[in-house]
Structure 1
Amino acid sequence: MFKKKLLMGVLCITMAAVAFGCGSKKNKDEKSQTEDQTSDESAASKIKYNVDDYVKLGDYKGIEVAKEEAKVTDEDLNTAIKNILQSYPETVKTDKQVVEKDDTVNIDYEGLLDGKAFDNGTQKGANLKIGSGTFIEGFEEQLIGAKVGEDKSIKVTFPKEYGNKDLAGKEVVFNVKINYIGEEKIPELTKEFIKTYTNKDMTIDEFKEQLKSELLEQKKTTIQTNRIDAVKTKVLENSKVKEFPKGLLEAKISDIKKQVTEQAKSQGMELEKFLTQNYAGLTLEDFNKQVKTSVEDRLNLLLITEAITKKEGLELTDKEYKEQVEKYANQMQSTVDVFEKQYGKDSIKEEFQLQKTWNFVSEKAVEK
């Protein structure tokens, strides 16, 4: 509840539709905000042109790529298991009595605003590593020096931009009890751990086989991604965009700025303040430069892709779009309507078209 807000890269936001993984599951408030947005046609989609007038295509079939084999070694499997176990450390009680930085403490706490407990502000038996920055700023530091069994009152102030408007910018008091100081221990791979991790009853061997299968699929996906990237790089080098269609660059930049401005507005902030507070002091000037550079690179890719699409008759069909958008919406635990309004239907179609065309080019590549 009191974790510091994690920051995504600003270009992940501005080009959100490029890779939908930048999105996340929406809570109720976020969903209603998204549903209130309009899904107007983007400015860029209104600009009409003949792509053949702007692109000189080079070779895009028979591109040579390195041959890669998907396989999972024992070392790969052991590393994956080790990473899983390290992600679920057990906190073991120690005899230590005074809290120091980097200690893991087990605490009960109750948060009070104007003397009254507020929602989601109370928990018993919470494990907290001092100095991790997990809780609101100032909370962890004030526990240093506290003793096991001691009751301690801590005053902290929520950030002005905090998501809960009832708490944003407010000073609150947390009554905290130190239950014990623990140390993190990496668990063993047991049937009990596997049940907790997978919510399934399986033997250690069965778990390893399942994990190995998952790792193999990940390797295949990585190889395919690397293959497409390699092919794409060579095709972009072989081809040339003579110039951008009139007004297209400016329209794309406008669409992105509009998207980020709307996000700032949803948090009750002007764009400049939103960037400064959320992106380590990023100025509006630097933001504008980054957006322009990204859009220029993006347009270069889009126009060359469009030229290949037109030449090969690879235009995305309505059926393909429907199947893809339903799949992505389900993966993000959303609805198609909310998903389209979140990213913009034009941007989603653009991304699906990129996938279809470059999968085709990748299939025509030659392994050496």
Structure 2
Amino acid sequence: MKKIISAALCATMLLGTAALTSCDSYKKTPSDFKLPYSDYNLADYVTLGEYKGLEYTEIDTTVTSDQIDAKIKELLSDYTTEELITDRGAQYGDTLSIKYTGFVDGEQLENGSGSDTITLGSSGYIDGFDAGLVGVKAEETTTLHLTFPDPYPNNTDLSGKAVEFIVRVNSIRGASDIDLTDEFIAGLEKEEYTTVDGLRAYAEKLALEDNKESARDKAVSELWNKVMNSCTFTSVPEKEVSDYADNMMSQYKAYADNYSLTMEEFCEQMMGMDYDTFSSQVKAYAEANIKQEIVLMSIVNAEKLRLTDKEYDAGMEKIAEQQSTTVEQLESNYDFEILWKSIMWDKILDFIVDNGKPVAAAETTTSADTTEADTAA
């Protein structure tokens, strides 16, 4: 199941936050800037639970040879051609044509079936979906036993629920093999590597960075879920929820207009549901996000956190890079409050991880049953 598109600016993960000291500068924050939700007494809406000293699973970031090979394939993708793969199972980076059906509690999942073409490793489906398809060959079917995220904004009724996906891999396309020699690598004239050994070392370095980022993301997700679950909500500011939902619907209407569709047609054709169902999901998503913002600002107030100029600059550079734009364009297109919340969000997540307690991961087994399918699509 793919994630709903958020109308809010996506937060970007900072690699670290500077400690507040008497030497910090705050000139980038306008003098008339009011903290978000400063007009509300947040204690009327939420009672904070624990957010410091929480345990999270420590993830092994050791790089495997398969990861190095996948990274090399990525680095050399401009020098290869894509071909139909029939003699091996799917690997990360391959393009897969799939057909899938989802089941929850033995019942077929509404809007949980379809066909798609995905790049393995970046499909956008829930955690474990891509990993479960590694090694599956073309014209094989596999059963993936997964769990929806908690919370799951697309459909809050599915949050944390076990789901079974039956996935048929119709075809696999992957990059053609390259005869790696020092002569070939030297001819690429890359500063980062000039030999095969140098290429492998560079690929290992990049793979390690990916593993560390992935481990950090999982720690953030695990800890933030614990933070939210430990909070007690009495209500949410209805105006904030309404404004957030209206903003999202305006974004979706713009998408619909681009395709010359009414919102009803857009929901049916592009989202796979009727307008009323989609509207209710948008409202649920908006409420979930407002709850998170309330918790965010409650922690900001409790810890008296502010953004230094250094943190603001680093955050803006990171957002600009991920949005493929410039800091100047971001500052022109977005209100300061939106940018501030995006950067502060990452600072809070870093704060929670830095104050968390890593614990060794328990041994787990991958649950995926692969069987030979008939040749019918």
TM bucket by the smaller chain? 0.5 to 0.7
Distance in 2 (CA, whole Å) between partners of 1:327 and 1:10 is: 22
Q: Is the 8 A contact 2:12 2:318 kept in 1?
A: no
SS in structure 2 of the partner of residue 66 of structure 1: strand
Contact kept, 8 Å, 2:228 with 2:295, in 1: the verdict is: yes
Larger radius of gyration: 1
- Distance 1:64-1:327 versus aligned 2 partners, 3 A rule: closer
Q: Does 1:202 align with 2:197?
A: no
1:245 counterpart = 2:237: yes
* Structure 2 equivalent of residue 225 of structure 1: 217
Structure 1 residue runs of 5 or longer lacking an equivalent are: 1-7, 22-44, 93-131, 133-182
Q: Map 1:288-367 onto structure 2 (within 5 A).
A: 288-317=279-308, 320-340=311-331, 345-367=336-358
Distance 1:282 1:348, change over 3 A: farther
Look up the equivalent residue of 1:208 and give its one-letter code.
R
| Paired position in structure 2 for 1:255 | 247
Query: Compared with structure 1, are the counterparts of its residues 233 and 50 closer, same or farther at alpha carbon in structure 2 (3 Å cutoff)?
Result: same
Question: Which residue of structure 2 lines up, in the alignment, with residue 11 of structure 1?
Answer: 4
**Cα offset for 1:63?**
0.6
Q: CA deviation at 1:298?
A: 1.4
Q: Quick check: 1:88–1:186 contact (8 Å CA) kept in 2?
A: no
Partner Cα distance (1:282, 1:344) in 2: 33
Indicate the residue corresponding to 1:171 in structure 2.
Answer: none
Q: Say which structure is richer in helix.
A: 1
Contact 1:275 1:283 in 2 (8 A): yes
SS in structure 1 of the partner of residue 59 of structure 2 = coil
Per-residue deviation, residues 132-160 of structure 1 (Å, max 9, x unmatched): 9xxxxxxxxxxxxxxxxxxxxxxxxxxxx
Give the C-alpha shift of residue 358 in structure 1.
1.6
- Please say if residues 191 and 204 of structure 1, whose CA atoms lie closer than 8 Å, have aligned partners that are also in contact: yes
Which range is displaced more, 352-361 or 264-273?
A: 264-273
| Identity value in percent | 26
The number of aligned residues is 248
Matching of residue 73 in structure 1 with residue 56 in structure 2: no
Question: Quick check: 1:85–1:188 contact (8 Å CA) kept in 2?
Answer: no
Matched letter for residue 216 of structure 2 = Q
CA distance in 2, matches of 1:344, 1:276: 33
Q: 1:257 to 1:185 in 2, by over 3 A?
A: closer
Give runs of aligned pairs for residues 187-198 of structure 1, distance below 5 A.
Answer: 187-191=178-182, 194=185
Q: Which amino acid in 2 is paired with 1:308? A: I
Post-superposition shift, 1:307?
Answer: 0.9
1:274 is displaced (CA, Å) by 4.1
- How far apart, in 2, do the equivalents of 1:222 and 1:297 lie? 24
- What is the TM-score with the length of structure 2 in the denominator? 0.56
**Aligned partner of 1:11: which letter?**
I
**What is the root-mean-square deviation in Å for CA atoms of aligned residues?**
3.6
TM-score by length of 1: 0.57
Whole-Å Cα distance in 2 between the matches of residues 332 and 245 of structure 1? 30
Is 1:216 aligned to residue 208 of structure 2?
A: yes
Q: Secondary structure at the match of 2:58?
A: coil
